[in-house]
Amino acid sequence: MLKTVNPDPKSKDHDLVLLGATGVTGRRAYSYLIKNVPAGFRWAIAGRNREKLEALLASSPATQERPDLLIVDLSDPTSIEKMIKRTRVLIHLAGPYADHGAFIYELCIRHQTDYIDIGGETFFLKEMIRRFHQQADDRGVKLIPVAGYESTPFDLLTLAAVEKIQKEYSETCIEAKIVVSFIRTGPVVDNRISGGSLGTMRNILASDDTNTYNDPTCLLPPCSSSKRLRKRNKISYRAKFDADIGRMTAPLFPAPFLNVPVVLRSAHLLRQSGYAYDEDFRYKDSMTVEFFATGVEGEKRYAKKVARQYQVTSWAVAGPRPLRLQLKRRLDNMGVSPGDGPSDDALSCVDYKLELFAQTNSGRSVRASMYGDGHPGYLSTARLAVEAGLALALERDTLPGSAGILTPASGLGLEFLPRAKKAGLRIAFH
């Protein structure tokens, strides 16, 4: 099929719109964006509450050029369509995403608006891929969900290792393992989860697609190798001693089921463009727990506790509907609303470090690391999503040519590394 040509940028009023700017992640994204937009950039913040949006604008120094303000509500598709029609790149931070269904994907494809989000509802993403990947590809639109801390650093570091293996050894990458550690940079004053993140958990419990959370291939098209890939990439909910790191590790907080399908989708999409992800490529990740516990025994106990919690959770999300809804009601009753979450002060307590151990098809080892500045969930995520949006708005021609429902690695490629560095990610090979 003949691909549609992208519209002239001048035919749209806004280069970029930040939707959900008043949320926990959105507020940080706004304050990062306003300091990093180039002169003359045409952008807007969008949300449903004018007072909150105006307060946000008022919070930035008067010397800074203000963006436009758009009042839209996700429960009013007409207002959303009007916005999307006029926008080149939408950064959608008003999750959880399954709440409002598929229409944003549909509208972005119809109006050729590139799209970034930071979602984690794989059951929803799986459905969006099934319904819209081909259409988006045909219309040349890039939709890049899961572009926050989950899963950009993990996906990009793996791609960097794959490229190194290909360039230096002319081999394929058969396995990548990433262990993440959280590094204390200040006192932990408030470790609350945000209303949006809790909403994502509620959606996961309410979804009847109960296989998704234990299926590492859920974001791949069905194919003859699915069974083998599923077996090789089984998502681990165990605590174990990692000999490469020399520490106890636990399932990755907060969503051990998320990076695996995203990185496998990158492998699937990028292999088609000649990247050396092996046909039998395996990806896994975990975290150390010294941020949360002290001493060898303390870490061991804590890692086992986390693993038990995830084992129960994975069993519950795959369980019968009445049980899932009962658990969901507990979350509903926690009294956490959209916009609730940790304060700015609370976000300066932590950085993170990813350590990657990769294997080539002949058994050579490659090691790399990536250091991430700032709270992974609400600070690093905000900066990464913004830089991804800016890359699409300002450097689209230099990014990989692929379109469709992509991943951070397949949509942004290693060309994104300079922007990832600005967002606080530093990569090194050892």
As beta bridge partners, residue 225 has none
Q: Does 26 bind ligand NAP (CB under 6 A)?
A: yes
- From 46-54, 279-287, 295-303, 364-372, give the range in contact with ligand NAP by CB under 6 A: 46-54
Choice from 113, 181, 197, 407 touching ligand NAP (CB under 6 A): 197
Cβ atoms of 385 and 29 closer than 8 Å: yes
Q: What x-and-dash track marks residues 333-352 binding ligand NAP by CB under 6 A?
A: -----xx-x-----------
As beta bridge partners, residue 143 has 115, 405
Least separation in angstroms between CB 334 and ligand NAP: 13
Residue 142 or 247 having the CB closest to ligand NAP:
142
Q: d(Cα 43, Cα 369) in Å, to the nearest integer?
A: 34
414: left (phi over 0), alpha (psi -120 to 50) or beta: alpha
Residue type, 220: L
Choice from 48, 265, 268, 282 touching ligand NAP (CB under 6 A): 48
Q: d(Cα 107, Cα 211) in Å, to the nearest integer?
A: 28
- From 15-23, 270-278, 350-358, 410-418, give the range in contact with ligand NAP by CB under 6 A: 15-23
Near ligand NAP in 294-313, by CB under 6 A = none
> What sections of 11-115 are H helices per DSSP?
24-36, 50-58, 77-85, 103-110
Question: Which DSSP category does 57 fall into?
Answer: H
Cα atoms in the Cβ-side hemisphere of radius 13 Å centred on 299: 17
Cβ atoms of 217 and 264 closer than 8 Å: yes
Q: Does 261 bind ligand NAP (CB under 6 A)?
A: no
Residue 359 CB coordination number (10 Å): 20
Q: Does 77 bind ligand NAP (CB under 6 A)?
A: no
Q: Does 79 bind ligand NAP (CB under 6 A)?
A: no
Choice from 18, 93, 219, 370 touching ligand NAP (CB under 6 A): 93
Least separation in angstroms between CB 70 and ligand NAP: 10
At which residue do the structure tokens 């008043």 appear? 22
Near ligand NAP in 108-127, by CB under 6 A = 118-120
List contacts with ligand NAP (CB under 6 A).
20, 22-26, 47-49, 52, 73-75, 93-96, 118-120, 146, 148-150, 194-197, 200, 338-339, 341, 377-378, 381
